[in-house]
Amino acid sequence: MIKLLLVEDDANLRYIVQSSLEDLIGGYEVKVAENGLQGLEEWKEFQPDIIISDIDMPVMNGFEMVKRIRETDGDTPILFASALTSPKDVRNGYEIGVNNYVKKPFVPDELDAHIHAILKMKQGSKSRNTTDICRFGHYTLDAPHATLYHEGTHTRTLLTQRESELLLLLAQNVNGVVRREVILSHIWETEDDYFASRSLDVYVNKLRKLFANDASVQVKTVRGVGIMLVLSLD
């Protein structure tokens, strides 16, 4: 049984999605909220397996709700179901921690497919990361705990799960180009998806900022090919 929190201000759509998932498709327990503030309350009480949320809502919008959730919960998958899918909105969503987007209007079967894909990806990444510890330069990446350790300063940086997965894949191929389609297939389980591709760009920028003060490590984009982690040895 999948515990799903649906945050949506349209009462008709809430009813259609809830009844479709629980009664027609089956295998779901759905709790509903009509705005981001109620969504926060239900998230704390219900502890869902996944959250599906609109963006443009009264009282508190989806962006603000996700920001607050991600302050303490970086694990629960969150999917935005919205008509707001401009490049700016998509980038904002991924930067605050959304896992994926589905564009309105959608049919319940499509939403069900997205949900299972995200949960499968979450479980698969946990399985892949159980023994992955990678060293490069002055760094040690502990992928199971999403932690990056710097041997020189003895500092530990906590990463998100996806940052850890991307950095691990690049570090395992240090100074070599990892093709975009390989990254998308390995981490997002797709090779040609607009939202996944934009999400990859966001996480590449996050890794660049992570190493911004270390000239020995660079995350470079090879246009039309892929991404590479460049390590300069002193």
Binned at pLDDT 50, 70 and 90, residue 3 comes out as very high
> What DSSP string describes 68-105?
HHHTT-SSS-EEEEES--SHHHHHHHHHHT--EEEESS
What is the per-residue pLDDT for 22?
Answer: 93
Instruction: Assess whether pLDDT exceeds 60 at residue 234.
Output: no
DSSP 58: S
What is the per-residue pLDDT for 130?
Answer: 46
Instruction: Assess whether pLDDT exceeds 60 at residue 127.
Output: no
What is the per-residue pLDDT for 125?
Answer: 54
Q: What are the chain's domains?
A: 2-127 (3.40.50.2300), 130-231 (1.10.10.10)
Question: Angle 56-118-218 (CA atoms, 0-180°, nearest 5)?
Answer: 90
Tell me which residue of 104, 129, 144 sits closest to 12, measured CA to CA: 104
Edge-to-edge order in the sheet of strand 177-179: 177-179, 226-231, 217-222
Instruction: Assess whether pLDDT exceeds 80 at residue 48.
Output: yes
